[in-house]
């Protein structure tokens, strides 16, 4: 991996010695993942991921097998939750899949952990990144505990429309259910009510948002 690529992801790069820079470069590999391909499971420590292109989805599984999306990673983002052996305070398992064809850099957890023990700025970066992601996780937990399904669905559809840059969200009821950790039948029922209220139109090509201001009010 070229050394200049690290400067995009790591604000601490200038604090490293030439030896530590070389160590990170030598122990970084480039990986490609196809759409829906698993990137990380709940076994072992995969290391530190840096997204070069595409999009990764981080999620957890309930005991009955339901998936709940915690957050997504976009180009330029770094994932620390797959490096639980670097940050000992991480105590739950996460799964990572590629939502889109994705290219990533990965640094072995042992290498990154070794450097972080010698350079305080690296450890601070790791902790700050983990705290930022846990903030995303807490937002999802807040939705699950305190918000109704129609509010959660409105938030999801607006976020997806922003990501896709279109008023039509190309997703299925089953995929939405996986993101929100609920049953497909629940999603279909809520979408039907929203369609009856003129907020959206669901068809084979996806879900078209007809009244985004109303959806934003619902999402508050």
pLDDT for 205 equals: 80
Span 130-156, average pLDDT: 91
Residue of 49, 69, 50, 53 lying closest to 61 (CA atoms): 69
In the predicted model, what is the mean pLDDT of residues 56-73?
Answer: 89
pLDDT at residue 31 in the model: 94
CA angle, 41 then 28 then 132, to 5°: 60
Mean of the per-residue pLDDT values for the chain?
Answer: 88
b/e string for 111-129 if b means 16 or more Cβ within 10 A?
Answer: bbbbbbeebeebbebbeeb
pLDDT tens-digit map of 150-204: 999 999 999 999 999 999 999 999 999 999 999 999 999 999 999 999 999 988 8
Structural domains of the chain ordered from first start: 3-144 (2.60.120.10), 147-219 (1.10.10.10)
Pick the more confident residue, 3 or 127.
127
CB 96 within 8 A of CB 56: yes
Residue 130 pLDDT: 81
Give the tens place of pLDDT for each residue, 15-60: 999 999 999 999 999 999 999 999 887 655 677 889 999 999 999 8
Whole-number percent of the chain with pLDDT over 70: 91
Q: What is the pTM of this model?
A: 0.83
What per-residue confidence (pLDDT) applies to 84? 54
Q: What pLDDT is stored for residue 98 in this prediction? A: 95
CB distance 58 to 42 below 8 Å: no
Q: Does 96 score more than 80 pLDDT?
A: yes
């Amino acid at each position: 991996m070229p050394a200049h690529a690290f400067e995009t992801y790591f604000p601490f790069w200038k604090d490293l010695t030439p030896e530590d820079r070389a160590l990170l470069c030598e122990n970084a590999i480039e990986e490609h993942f196809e759409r829906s391909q698993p990137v990380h499971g709940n076994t072992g420590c995969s290391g530190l991921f840096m997204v070069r292109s595409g999009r990764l989805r981080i999620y957890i599984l309930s005991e009955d097998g339901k998936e709940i999306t915690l957050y997504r990673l976009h180009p330029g983002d770094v994932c620390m939750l797959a490096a639980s052996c670097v940050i000992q305070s991480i105590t739950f398992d996460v799964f990572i899949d590629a939502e889109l064809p994705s290219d990533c850099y990965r640094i072995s957890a042992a290498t990154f952990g070794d450097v972080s023990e010698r350079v305080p700025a690296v450890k601070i970066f790791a902790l700050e990144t983990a705290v930022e992601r846990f903030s995303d996780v807490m937002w999802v937990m807040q939705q699950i505990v305190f918000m109704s399904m129609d509010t959660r669905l409105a938030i999801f559809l607006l976020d997806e429309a922003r990501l896709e840059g279109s008023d039509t969200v190309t997703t299925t009821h089953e995929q939405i259910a996986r993101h929100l950790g609920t049953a497909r039948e629940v999603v279909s029922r809520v979408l039907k009510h929203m369609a009856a209220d003129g907020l959206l139109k669901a068809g084979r090509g996806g879900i078209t948002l007809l009244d985004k201001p109303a959806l934003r009010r619902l999402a508050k």
